[in-house]
Amino acid sequence: MTLKERITEDMKAAMRAKDSDRLGAIRMLTAAIKQREVDERIELDDVAVVAIVDKLLKQRKDSIEAFQKAARQDLVDKEQAEVMVLQAYLPQRLSAAEIDTEVKAIVAELGAKGPGDMGKVMGAVKSRLAGKADMGQVSAAVKAALA
């Protein structure tokens, strides 16, 4: 079963259970997937769906920060519930130690030295670790490895 099929099945289950919060989050995800498919006229695979989930999670986390600064706990709770639903569709994430190991291996492969090679390293890292790691942590690990 592909990730898209699993999302569709989860949406049907949420409808049957009348779980409106979960249903809303899943519908938002399916809308983002369909939007990208229509815009680019392609059928998305699991890697592309994971990238969309990552993007939506980042948006939710940014919203949570903004709502906390504005003291809107009701909206913070809503966004956190959506984060919990979306995280279920991500593969197991790499630990910080595993990220460091991968980054050091890529830096050694490319022969990168110094912060000037950050773009080259990030391009290779993104292709290898896409969907497996939080890119914020990856970026910090690349900066540390090149420093």
Q: Give the pLDDT of residue 97.
A: 87
Instruction: Identify the residue whose tokens are 């292709």.
Output: 127
Instruction: Identify the residue whose tokens are 């991968």.
Output: 102
pTM for the predicted model, two decimal places: 0.79
Percentage of the chain modeled with pLDDT above 70: 100
Helix (H, G, I), strand (E, B) or coil at 51: helix
Whether 130 shows a pLDDT value over 80: the answer reads no
Q: Give the pLDDT of residue 95.
A: 85
Rounded CA gap, 144 and 18, in Å? 47
Q: What are 43's two structure tokens?
A: 């059928």
Residue predicted with more confidence, 14 or 94 = 14
Class of domain 96-146: mainly alpha
C-alpha triplet 83, 12, 91: angle, nearest 5°: 40
How high does pLDDT run on average in the chain?
Answer: 91
Residue spans of the domains in the chain: they are 3-87, 96-146
Task: Write down the CATH number for the domain with range 3-87.
Answer: 1.10.1510.10
Q: At what angle do helices 73-87 and 46-69 cross, to 10 degrees?
A: 160
